[in-house]
Amino acid sequence: MKPYPSRKWPLVVYLLLCSLLAISSCADDDDALPITIPPADSLERVTEISGIQVTGITVSDAGRIFTTFPRWREGVPYTLAELVDGQPRPYPSTELNAWDVGQAPGDKLVNVQSAIAVGDTLYVGDTRNPLMEGLITQPRIHLFDLRTDELLRTYELAPSATVQATYVNDLRVDRGRQLVYFTDSGEGALMVLDLQSGESWRHLDGHPSVQAEVDTLNIAGTPFTQKIPSDGIAIDTVGGRLLYHALSGYTLHAIALDALAQRDTATAAAAVTTVATTPAPDGMWRLTGGTIMADLEAQAVVFVTDGGQVTTLVEGPEVGWADTFSAGDGFLYFTNSKLQEAGVGKDVSGMTFPIYRIPLPE
């Protein structure tokens, strides 16, 4: 007589299947994006600016949009503006913007590359390096009160924080520490300004992480041979670090904010870490768990997780050179500076420069 078959084996199989499903679920969770991707047809043109190359954009809490127009050629009528009814209006005044190459700089806005609205304050970085040919005075940072549009204070970066080729590019404000961080895209480095004391200092001068990694980028089939070091930055408030990236490169780096706050250069250098391999970008915008940036070579905007997973948010010729990002009203705004076409010193009088937005990934 055959023994009665055991009924225990289905339970074993069941437990095994549950284990496999749990492992699969964990793997799916690891691969899952921490954001939702906007629809493919969500790209919306906000405005298009004729004859003046736009790079920077920032959106205030009140929904005001400010843009920057670097003086990379003669005859640029204004370098900082607010979009009013879709058109740029010199900010805070035409008079303060009234400067051209060869004139005495005085207290004018000479060459604004980046501006960022934080709360009721607009932080404006004047490179004082028109045509990217070298400093004509020390770079300045102007703070404007957005409630009154009045100038609150002007800071000047110390000579010890800069070199002759310094080009102040992206800036970010650390309100907790009362510090402002900048990239030097002329001679790779990071710079820090103390808003309370007015002191400034330089970090990572000559460090490999702030240098260009490649000689050439391939932008839609066209070689871009201008080697640009440290460019885009973003604050990771959760991780307590500043993310930064060379434009001519494929590596996202980070440095602890506590290390940046110190003057000791060795401490800063020891605090550098590698975050991920990414596309070559310009500006960046930080979200929880990852960073929005351009994929310049693919003419796309992408989201890159801290683990290096790259997801395209929007792409196409209209995206072009996605230069600077800002969030406001539930949207992600960005400029197409067409840098691969306009370059520095070229005539752009017949060109147009669009500003776009897409729903802000959540």
Element (H, E) at 27: helix 9-31
User: What's the CA gap between 129 and 31, in Å, rounded?
Assistant: 44
Average pLDDT, the chain: 92
Q: Are 267 and 252 in contact (CB under 8 A)?
A: no
pLDDT score, position 39: 87
The residues pairing with 327 across neighbouring beta strands, listed in sequence order, are: 332
User: What's the CA gap between 68 and 80, in Å, rounded?
Assistant: 5
Whether the per-residue pLDDT at 9 is higher than 90: the answer is no
- Position 329 confidence tier, pLDDT thresholds 50, 70, 90: very high
pLDDT score, position 32: 61
Per DSSP, 21 falls in state H
Residue 22, C-beta contacts closer than 8 angstroms, at least 6 positions apart:
none
Q: What are the Cα distances from residue 55, in Å, to 119, 207, 319, 345, 356?
A: 22, 27, 13, 15, 12
- Alpha-carbon dihedral 270, 275, 167, 283, rounded to 10 degrees: -160
- Alpha-carbon dihedral 14, 16, 22, 27, rounded to 10 degrees: -140
Whether the per-residue pLDDT at 199 is higher than 80: the answer is yes
User: What's the CA gap between 82 and 351, in Å, rounded?
Assistant: 20
Q: What pLDDT, in 10s, does the model give residues 127-182?
A: 999 999 999 999 999 999 999 999 999 999 999 999 999 999 999 999 999 999 99
Q: What pLDDT, in 10s, does the model give residues 14-30?
A: 334 444 333 333 333 34
Instruction: Count CB neighbours of 220 within 10 A.
Output: 14
Radius of gyration for the alpha carbons in the chain, expressed in angstroms and rounded: 23
Element (H, E) at 145: strand 140-145
Q: What pLDDT, in 10s, does the model give residues 215-256?
A: 999 998 899 999 999 999 999 999 999 999 999 999 999 999
Sheet containing 251-256: give its strands across. 230-236, 241-246, 251-256, 272-277
pLDDT score, position 8: 40
Tokens 């929005």, residue located: 292
Sheet containing 150-156: give its strands across. 112-118, 121-126, 140-145, 150-156
pLDDT score, position 156: 98
Whether the model clears a pTM of 0.85, i.e. scores above it, the answer is yes
Burial (CB < 10 A; 0-12, 13-18, 19+), residue 230, is buried
pLDDT score, position 29: 38
288 torsion bin: left (phi>0), alpha (psi -120 to 50), beta (else): beta
